[in-house]
Amino acid sequence: MNADPSARFAELRARHPELVYESFAIVEGADAVEFTFTFALANGPTFRPTLRLPRRPDFVVERELLENLAFHIGLVEAISYWKAACPPVVRIRAGSLDAGQQGWWENLWRHGLGEFFYRNGLAPGADFVRFATEGPARRAWPCAVEDRNLIPIGGGKDSLVTLGLLEPFHEKNLCFLLNRSRAQEESARLFGYGPERTVVARRTIDPALLELNRQGYWNGHTPFSALLGFTAVAAAVLQGASRVVLSNESSASEPTVPGTEVNHQYSKSWAFEQAFSSYVAEHLTPSVAYFSLLRPWNELRIARRFAADGRGLAVFRSCNVGARDDRWCGACPKCLFVDILLAPFVPRGKRVAVFGIPPLERPELRPLLDELAGIAPVKPFECVGTVEEVRAALTLAANRPDRPELARYFAESHPGLRVTSERIEALLGEFGADHHVPVEFIAVLR
């Protein structure tokens, strides 16, 4: 296969001119609904990923709404299978999209795959994907819901902060886990949510996609939080919950590559939250609201709250490198970023209990610190905070009596990048105006 990215892009698109979203199947059980989606890559394999969502037996969901939810979950799943060959046409036989919807999905494809294109050296043109819809029309349906909150739990500090803030609403809350991990389960259990208050979904990836990756087809980052959004809305409908409450902060909106729209966290950004919440109301169901509770806060404020609570230190995990082994690797950008945030607020001994050797004490991680602090031209492709938040946390850490080696390096080598105490106080008290937090939840944030 041609090693030149542009030539390879054209070659694969010519070899596989379409991805066809053939159909979805729904099997309704007493306690769960199982979905199977069928995608066919022209001149390539057929894929059949699955999703299993628990259901509340006493809630009846209209079949038309269930089919519409399935159709849309399939659309967002299709992104992962499309990216293997990037065919110019996505033919949709499982439903239809009007012109406005096609524009919405093209925007998600473009921005949600921004990192994928950037890191693979691709520059897709304006016509990089076209949707050809041939299936039945589908429309939004209201549904029966109660005053309940479905809270997606990732196992990191952010969702733990949300659980802590929403303790006054404990009886109204359900935890949502997609492909559960120990950190997710322990996070829910820590705040008193046992199996009866935990909704566990199971998603599978078709092995044929992994085989294409082994053969050298395209691979890379996809907008996972968009898939989580569609899946969580469906889970909320099946549980009769009126709200999906995310834990995405204001910092998620900063581009990973300065001066561009390339953002590892696009589907956690404020722009996506606005677009998605409107899409849900117009095209899925007006009965379920979607918003991020932490959107008015920045990473520094969240870290201080997390440290002040303290309960989550023993259970949280955010490291992607060590995820399969339920550990912090201590050497990746995410581990270093989390340690930078914790260092101003958490004593060294407790950080040792989390990481072993704290990443801020590892001089070999200086290149990663330069990326996080905006000294290098591009931030790490991870879910990390803004350059200013990193610099503020490093400034605070450098002022501690036990200041870590990399915080000292930052303060002494780049004194002009230190953040003033006045600006740090402003960040710690910041409450952004861009959010969809309902008025009844504002008090817990204030």
DSSP string, 158-180: HHHHHHHHTGGGGGGEEEEEES-
Could you tell me where the beta strands, DSSP code E, fall in 281-398? 289-292
- Reading the block at residue 399, the tokens are 């002022």
> What count of Cα atoms within 13 Å lies in the side-chain half-sphere of residue 96?
8
Which residue matches tokens 């200013």? 388
- Give the span between the Cα atoms of 54 and 282, in whole angstroms: 25
CA distances from 351 to 160, 190, 253, 296, 344 (A): 17, 19, 28, 27, 11
- Give the span between the Cα atoms of 224 and 219, in whole angstroms: 14
Q: How many CB atoms lie within 10 A of CB 430?
A: 13
Which residue matches tokens 């780049």? 414
CA distances from 285 to 113, 154, 230, 292 (A): 26, 25, 11, 18
Residues near 315 by beta carbon (within 8 Å), at least 6 away in sequence:
155, 160, 183, 186, 187, 190
Radius of gyration in angstroms for the set of CA atoms belonging to the chain, rounded to a whole number = 22
Q: How many CB atoms lie within 10 A of CB 298?
A: 22
- Give the span between the Cα atoms of 369 and 53, in whole angstroms: 40
- Per DSSP, the residues of 197-225 read GEEEEEEE--HHHHHHHHTT-------HH
> Distance of alpha carbon 48 from its chain centroid, rounded?
23
pTM beyond 0.85: yes
User: pLDDT (tens digit, 0 to 9) for every residue of the chain, 446 residues total?
Assistant: 457 999 999 999 999 999 999 999 999 999 999 999 999 999 999 999 999 999 999 888 999 999 999 999 999 999 999 999 999 999 999 999 999 999 999 999 999 999 999 999 998 888 899 999 999 999 999 999 999 999 999 999 999 999 999 999 999 999 999 999 999 999 999 999 999 999 999 999 999 999 999 999 999 999 999 999 999 999 999 999 999 999 999 999 999 999 999 999 999 999 999 999 999 999 999 999 999 999 999 999 999 999 999 999 999 999 999 888 899 999 999 999 999 999 999 999 999 999 999 999 999 999 999 999 999 999 999 999 999 999 999 999 999 988 899 999 999 999 999 999 999 999 999 999 999 999 999 999 98
* Residue among 393, 277, 285, 379 at smallest CA distance from 334: 379
- Judge whether 89 and 18 are in contact, CB under 8 Å: yes
